[in-house]
């Protein structure tokens, strides 16, 4: 690592490994992963060469949305362990040189949270307005037409207050009134609690849902076109989310994080048009460090044009934030199953890994992505995910991307647990298990380690500019520049070969790619002569 790389914030250009706690490692034989299990596997994660881990929620929760419905922001759910287990995990990660990022869910809580229990008890109580409450229309119907992401109206009647409360997701996830200064102070206190324990940053969940239109105006109908599996899809989400005051709250959060130094913040921004919000949430030096959307996560196909457009949407310009990229995560079906035929998946996985680790920005790896894990077909009677159940069979379930990690090909449940796992293991995952790939120098696991190590030694890949973006059919080319160093990247997304005809030193290549020729799904990084 050169001097400039060493002087850059640790998170800039970092590779972050996402761990879904339920599915990584079970340490107590109850079929569900836990914090002690994660701690026991951190040597493996550190050996990948990643800079940080991101832990999906492990907080106290009824688990109706698997931890994104929080009943206590400042404690660990007994399913995952204790605060002492978290502290031990954090200490072990830091000892291995890994930073730890955790989720923060500020748009809503569980209806089991004490704040909501107090809010619903009476209209004039201390926390009466901590959530979004509204009187019914004269005919008793909800106050407006807002719809829930998981299906049905975005309002639920509460007989205790004789009012409706708002929820953008499940009815058991009431919407916090983040406009209220007292709520903002409480959320900042939550952040401070975890910063005091030593976490290194936050991934902010669904932050564009954090504030609503106080006038409760109806959303307009969406124009015709596009897939519609939920009432939510029939509206333009103008008023139930994306309020212009959200960045002001993020400035307060950033100021708090800056008190602790070198922390990293990244926003999740969903929806069909997230770009303006991602830019607003990361603008300047007083808001979040980074953001990612769903350009790849929900893409039907990963193509040269899809990637080129995503790159172009995050130019290097004054005032624009630093991008982050994820090809798959806990909210999207496994990318390989969406994008590649079965006989092409191994080659596609190698190509996609080189691409991800060549982009300008932070790279987020979802657990098992370094193994090429595929989407698991979960039968309807085994589904756990409320979104999948509500929309079955029109969407691939999130459950199929949340199945147990494949550790040992010949072990019961692939080494994840000695008990029956909460979700079935993938039928084809034994051949992809860690122990099998660790024994094969040509495996995707070894390739991932080599590419991460390369990224750390090449400032052009970790910090450099990206330009010369060109698309020709399914061939994508771009350059990464840092000082006098110029790296050229070519990626063939097609199952047919392409001539290339470049010169220079090859520093990484997959699927038999050379400077002269790209085989099917071939990809290459070349250093220009003299650079």
Angle at 526 between CA 521 and CA 529, to 5 degrees: 155
What are 478's strand-pairing partners? 489
CA distance 195 to 496: 50
Angle value at C-alpha 390, between 384 and 394, nearest 5 degrees: 105
* 72 a catalytic residue: no
SS3 label, residue 131: strand
Match domain 3-109+179-453 to its CATH number in 3.60.15.10, 3.20.20.80, 1.10.10.10, 3.20.20.70: 3.20.20.80
Q: How far is CA 429 from CA 369, 419, 424, 433, 522, in A?
A: 12, 18, 11, 6, 24
In this structure, what token pair is assigned to residue 302? 């990963």
Element (H, E) at 363: strand 362-366
Rounded CA-CA distance 508/463 in Å is 18
What is the model's pLDDT at position 387?
A: 81
CB-based contacts of 202: which residues, under 8 Å, 6+ apart?
Answer: 101, 102, 103, 104, 191, 194, 253, 257, 263, 264, 265, 266
Q: Supply the pLDDT for residue 230.
A: 86
Looking at residue 53, its pLDDT comes to 98
pLDDT of residue 4: 58
Averaged pLDDT in 10-residue chunks for the chain of 531 residues: 72 98 98 98 98 98 96 98 98 98 98 98 96 98 96 95 97 98 98 98 96 98 85 94 97 98 93 87 96 90 97 90 96 94 97 98 98 95 87 79 98 98 97 98 98 98 97 98 97 98 97 98 93 56
> Would you call 457 helix, strand, or coil by DSSP?
helix
Q: Which of 124, 196, 259, 343 is catalytic?
A: 259
User: In the structure encoding, which two tokens stand for residue 42, read together?
Assistant: 């951190």
Q: Are 504 and 528 in contact (CB under 8 A)?
A: yes
Q: pTM above the 0.75 mark?
A: yes
In the chain, where does the domain assigned CATH 3.20.20.80 lie?
A: 3-109+179-453
Given the residues 69, 205, 277, 331, the one annotated as active site: 205
- Selection from 387, 369, 348, 134 nearest residue 270 by Cα: 387
Cβ proximity of 190 and 129 under 8 Å:
no
- CATH 2.60.40.1180 maps onto the chain at 466-527
Alpha carbons 340 and 356: distance in angstroms, whole number: 16
Instruction: Indicate if 205 belongs to the active site.
Output: yes
According to DSSP, residue 221 is labeled: B
Phi, psi for 198 (deg, rounded to 5): 110, 10
- List of residues 6+ apart from 530 with CB closer than 8 A: none
The CATH code belonging to domain 466-527 is: 2.60.40.1180
DSSP 88-117: HHHHHHHHTT-EEEEEEE-SB--TTSHHHH
């Amino acid at each position: 690592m050169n001097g400039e790389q060493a002087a850059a914030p640790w998170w800039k250009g970092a590779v972050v490994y996402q761990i879904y706690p339920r599915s990584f490692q079970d340490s107590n034989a109850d079929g569900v992963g836990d914090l002690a299990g994660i701690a026991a596997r951190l040597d493996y994660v550190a050996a990948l060469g990643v800079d940080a881990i991101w832990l999906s929620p492990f907080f106290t929760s009824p688990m109706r949305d698997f931890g994104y419905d929080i009943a206590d922001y400042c404690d660990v759910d007994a399913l995952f362990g204790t605060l002492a287990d978290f502290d031990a995990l954090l200490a072990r990660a830091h000892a291995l040189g890994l930073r730890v990022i955790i989720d923060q869910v500020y748009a809503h809580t569980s209806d089991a949270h004490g704040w909501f229990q107090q809010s619903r008890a009476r209209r004039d109580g201390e926390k009466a307005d901590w959530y979004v409450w509204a009187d019914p229309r004269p005919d008793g119907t909800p106050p407006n037409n807002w719809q829930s992401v998981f299906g049905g109206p975005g309002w639920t009647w509460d007989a205790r207050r004789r009012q409706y409360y708002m929820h953008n997701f499940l009815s058991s996830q009431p919407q916090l009134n983040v406009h209220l200064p007292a709520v903002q102070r409480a959320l900042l206190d939550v952040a401070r609690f975890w910063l005091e324990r030593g976490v290194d940053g936050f991934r902010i969940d669904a932050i564009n849902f954090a504030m609503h239109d106080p006038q409760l105006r109806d959303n307009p109908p969406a124009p015709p076109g596009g897939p519609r599996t939920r009432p939510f899809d029939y509206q333009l989400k103008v008023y139930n989310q994306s309020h212009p005051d959200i960045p002001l709250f993020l400035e307060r959060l950033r100021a708090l994080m800056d008190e602790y130094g070198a922390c990293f913040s990244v926003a999740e921004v969903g929806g069909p048009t997230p770009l303006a919000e991602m830019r607003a949430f990361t603008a300047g030096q007083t808001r979040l460090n980074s953001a990612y959307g769903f350009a790849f996560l929900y893409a039907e196909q990963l193509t040269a044009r899809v990637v080129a457009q995503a790159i172009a949407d995050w130019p290097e310009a004054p005032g624009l934030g630093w991008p982050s990229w994820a090809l798959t995560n806990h909210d999207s079906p496994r990318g390989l199953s969406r994008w590649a035929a079965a006989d092409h998946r191994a080659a596609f996985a190698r190509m996609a890994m080189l691409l991800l680790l060549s982009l300008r920005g932070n790279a987020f790896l979802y657990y098992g992505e370094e193994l090429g894990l595929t989407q698991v077909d979960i039968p309807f009677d085994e589904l756990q995910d409320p979104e999948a159940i509500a929309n079955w069979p029109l969407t691939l379930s999130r459950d199929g991307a949340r199945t147990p990690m494949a550790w040992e090909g010949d072990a019961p449940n692939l080494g994840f647990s000695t008990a029956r796992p909460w979700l079935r293991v993938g039928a084809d995952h034994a051949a992809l298990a860690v122990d099998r790939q660790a024994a094969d120098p040509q495996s995707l696991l070894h390739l991932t380690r080599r590419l991460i190590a390369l990224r750390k030694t090449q400032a052009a890949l970790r910090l450099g500019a990206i330009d010369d973006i060109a698309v020709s059919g399914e061939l994508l080319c771009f350059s990464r520049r840092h000082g006098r160093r110029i790296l050229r990247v070519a990626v063939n997304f097609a199952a047919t070969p392409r001539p290339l005809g470049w010169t220079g030193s090859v520093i990484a290549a997959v699927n038999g790619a050379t400077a002269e020729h790209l085989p099917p799904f071939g990809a290459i990084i070349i250093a220009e002569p003299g650079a």
